[in-house]
Chains A and B, each alone.
Chain A
Amino acid sequence: MAEHNPAPQIVHSRLDNGMEIVVIPDHRAPVVTHMVWYRNGSADDPPLKSGIAHFLEHLMFKGTAKHPKGQFQQLIADLGGQENAFTSYDYTSYFQRLPREHLATCMEYEADRMRNLVLTDEVVAPERDVVLEERRMRTDSDPQAELSEAVQAALFQHHPYGEPVIGWAHEIETLNRADALAYYQRFYTPENAILIVAGDVTPQEVETLARETYGAIPARGAAPVRTRPQEPPQRAHRLVSLADEKVEQPAFERCYLAPSAVTAPAGEAEALEVMTHVLGGGQTSRLYRTLVHERQVAVAAGAYYMTPSVDMTRLWVYGVPAPSVSLEEFGAAVDAVIADFLKAPVSENELNRSRNRLIADSIYARDNQTSLAHWYGAALACGETVADVAGWAERIEKVTAEDVLRVARRWLDKRSAVTGYLMPQEQAA
């Protein structure tokens, strides 16, 4: 993979209070992406408090004593910046994109809300309503989203990845100011945070600014420990079906339990990435070619592997059956493709195509500082290292057809999978 243009020089360091810093220089445009990642997500929500990680993410926009509600947002807007935040199973992240000269101001505000958040019942109550509307919009009005929620809940028999990131409505309704502050005190600490700055900056200036802002936050002594119930061995394939009058197009999904880059032995996550791509990445994949082109039982089919992840993760196979093909017939056709896939190593052509695509994606990613920042942030928040991310393409290049076959046989196992059917009302059993 010799390139004329070297990959960006990524610099990793740590403040005295434990906060990690990653700088990704990109001098093409005078803008920066500033992100702070916290190593806590919905899988760390305490019992009976599902949705608290995401609710707190919303409440982080409610201001501090020094910068009351709206001031940070107004400042970012005045500077022509963009900002937002997101919560996932394993992390919560806040980001701003703005002209480079305003980085210092931005860092001052973000550091301030890491320890000085002020919450009153007057701001907490309407924001809880906003989150309930968000849930109604994203999940409760969309049968596909409701099915996916049920599939996840069925897949994880013990681990909290089975809970939706946004939480269950009946628990969101009970979340209050005290819950939010307790959660904030526990997780919003320098030891638990990662700063990523990508764009038109040097590592030296970022470190200087970080010491002046985040560096002033006292260490707590240790990062919070997240202990989560782990999955026992799974032995039963589960079938989840949802019939709804709003469904006119049936759909199929299967979700397998699979190791992540963090939990798997060296090389296995990379083999899973290549395997998933050969099986279901794009139109030359086994699933698309067999089900859409040859057997014509599908209008779409593919597979997707979710990584990074702190604990055991998921690998999806999905498809849209052709008219007059039942979901049972479709599932049997998927099983036949997978059975064939497990018989022999993939061809040299298939292996090369998939590795080429995956490796090229890491070059394409260099065109977008925000994508790079996101890639590094998510990986570090889940327990990977900067070297792990930087060496990803090289490791993908080393994956062999035998590796692909081995992980396929090990993990494409229906006993640790859930199959989901999305059905029109009249097909309901």
Chain B
Amino acid sequence: MNKALSRNEASRAGRVQIVRSPGGVLAWLVEDYAVPLVALDFSFRGGAAQDPAGKPGVATMLAGLLDEGAGPYDANAFHEALDEEAVHLGFGADRDHIAGHFQTLTRNADRAFELLRLALNEAHLEQGAIDRVRAQLTAGLKREAKDPDSVAGRLFRETAYAGHPYGAPTRGAIESLPSITREDLVAARVAQFARDGLVVAAVGAIDARELATRLDAVFGALPAKGMLKDVAPATMQGVGRRIVSEIDVPQSTIRFGRPALEKDDPDYMASVVVMHILGGGAFTARLFREVREKRGLAYSAYAGLQNYDRAAMLAGSTSTKNERAAESLAVIEEQIRDLSAHGPTQEELDKAKKFLIGSYDLRFDTSTKIAANLAHLQREGRAPSYLDERNRMIANVTMEDAKRAAQRVLGDGALLVTVAGRPADMA
């Protein structure tokens, strides 16, 4: 019985089953029996944007503590159980969610799902583990304190979203991590681990009936509703500013960006196409061609869209030796202005659309990638039919759409630019 993932089925959406457990937990499922595995990808609404003011890092720390002792197991015993059953289990927080990624061999599924249930419902959050995870996060932050890419990124985020939760560091700050208490972590768990903000995607050797039973076991006891505070829409600030952080390195790392379109904007898909032309792909985008290929200014030069629940921006990066950093930035700004003023060429538009359409398949060739994509679409509020509609939406982007989207996203070309290094001739 290998009914899923056959290339003869024209519809990708047609392979997605929507499973509702007796307890009311919803999941998208793609059944496939080629490899004896089950992959689960899920998330709760919440994340770092819910961190208490002045205490960034709570959501990240909570995610890091879920496998540090739960139910009858202390931290060691829990990790031994994961090893014995060869379970892959990881949690993480981003700005808007706490997410989990789980994979098990089918022969170990019973115990693996039980370990997942314990992590989500009965994690101890005991003080020794809290101190351990705090020390690990602190070491990570120290490690990147003077790393050029981290410094430029931090400066960019703090400037762009000053005063908004998105301006705070997701993984916390060295100064504020010590103030996070067990009560903060318990409060975050109570507020966020709820069924109304939950999305689940399952892929692999499991049928709808078994999945429904497992969903109730793992998620069924969570409260129906979370208690999230409202996050205000974030307006990007600092556009037009150029900020340099001096670090003694031979190369300047440059971050740049400006506001972009929300995902529900009618021009969003056209803006995806335009951004691919500007800074996407590997070898064909304008930034790659002009910065790397023609001038040898950098190993990497890219720009893309970053959408959070309450913000949308264009963000890009490059790294050039200090003497030529200003030249790199000038080339990037020139390309952005040109694309805004004139739009792409017909050839660029046609090729970008072909790439975006053709490459969609590559996102669906492993269980974990499929599960991640299905969870992502649910977070965006899409129906499974989007899996088939998405390529049509790209095909329908006209030159007029692309020019309008380019104008709307790239505007006058003004950017927030942050630089880490010792760039010459850059005020």
Taking CB atoms and an 8 Å cut-off, the chain A residues in 46-92 that contact chain B are: 61, 70, 73-74, 76-84
User: Using Cβ atoms and an 8 Å threshold, which residues of chain A touch B281?
Assistant: 77
User: Using Cβ atoms and an 8 Å threshold, which residues of chain B touch A289?
Assistant: 76
> Is the CB of B282 closer than 8 A to any CB of chain A?
yes
> Is the CB of B284 closer than 8 A to any CB of chain A?
yes
B393 to nearest A CB, angstroms?
15
Stretch among B179-187, B245-253, B305-313 lining the A interface: B245-253
The reply to whether B146 and A28 contact each other, CB–CB distance below 8 Å, is no
CB-contact partner of B297 in A82, A133, A283, under 8 A? A133
Complex: how many Å from CA A119 to CA B209? 60
* Known contacts A73-B284, A80-B355, A299-B139; A30 and B248 CB within 8 A of each other: no
User: Using Cβ atoms and an 8 Å threshold, which residues of chain B touch A370?
Assistant: 365
Complex: how many Å from CA A292 to CA B107? 32
* Known contacts A31-B362, A282-B79; A137 and B282 CB within 8 A of each other: no
CB-contact partner of B84 in A29, A80, A137, A353, under 8 A? A353
Judged by DSSP, the binding face of B is mixed
5 A-B pairs besides A28-B34, A353-B80 with CB distance below 8 A are A26-B34, A293-B132, A299-B136, A363-B105, A370-B365
User: Using Cβ atoms and an 8 Å threshold, which residues of chain B touch A353?
Assistant: 80, 83-84
> Is the CB of B113 closer than 8 A to any CB of chain A?
no
> Is the CB of A322 closer than 8 A to any CB of chain B?
yes
The reply to whether A78 and B351 contact each other, CB–CB distance below 8 Å, is yes
Closest to A200 in B: B7
Taking CB atoms and an 8 Å cut-off, the chain B residues in 331-389 that contact chain A are: 351, 354-362, 364-368
The reply to whether B86 and A367 contact each other, CB–CB distance below 8 Å, is no
> Is the CB of A3 closer than 8 A to any CB of chain B?
yes
Taking CB atoms and an 8 Å cut-off, the chain B residues in 292-307 that contact chain A are: 292-300
The reply to whether A78 and B355 contact each other, CB–CB distance below 8 Å, is yes
> Is the CB of B143 closer than 8 A to any CB of chain A?
yes
The reply to whether B34 and A130 contact each other, CB–CB distance below 8 Å, is no
The reply to whether B250 and A99 contact each other, CB–CB distance below 8 Å, is no
Taking CB atoms and an 8 Å cut-off, the chain B residues in 310-330 that contact chain A are: 319-321
Question: A10-49, CB under 8 A of B: which get 1 and which 0?
Answer: 0000000000000000111111000000000000000000
Count A-B contacts at CB 8 Å: 205
A-B contact pairs, 15 of them (CB 8 A): A27-B34, A28-B34, A31-B362, A78-B351, A78-B358, A80-B355, A82-B359, A83-B282, A99-B358, A133-B299, A137-B253, A137-B319, A140-B251, A248-B142, A284-B80
> Is the CB of A295 closer than 8 A to any CB of chain B?
no
Complex: how many Å from CA A31 to CA B5? 12
Give the interface centre of A79, A299, A367 by most chain B CB atoms within 10 Å.
A367
Q: Which residues of B contact A (CB under 8 A)?
A: 5-7, 32-37, 39, 75-76, 79-80, 83-86, 88, 103, 105-107, 132, 135-136, 138-139, 142-143, 145-148, 205, 247-251, 253, 281-284, 292-300, 319-321, 351, 354-362, 364-368, 421
Complex: how many Å from CA A247 to CA B205? 47
The reply to whether A367 and B135 contact each other, CB–CB distance below 8 Å, is no
User: Using Cβ atoms and an 8 Å threshold, which residues of chain A touch B249?
Assistant: 136, 140-141, 246
The reply to whether B299 and A137 contact each other, CB–CB distance below 8 Å, is yes
A365 to nearest B CB, angstroms?
9
> Is the CB of A125 closer than 8 A to any CB of chain B?
yes
Question: A368-410, CB under 8 A of B: which get 1 and which 0?
Answer: 1110000000000000000000000000000000000000000
> Is the CB of A126 closer than 8 A to any CB of chain B?
yes
A186 to nearest B CB, angstroms?
26
The reply to whether B358 and A81 contact each other, CB–CB distance below 8 Å, is yes
Closest to A74 in B: B284
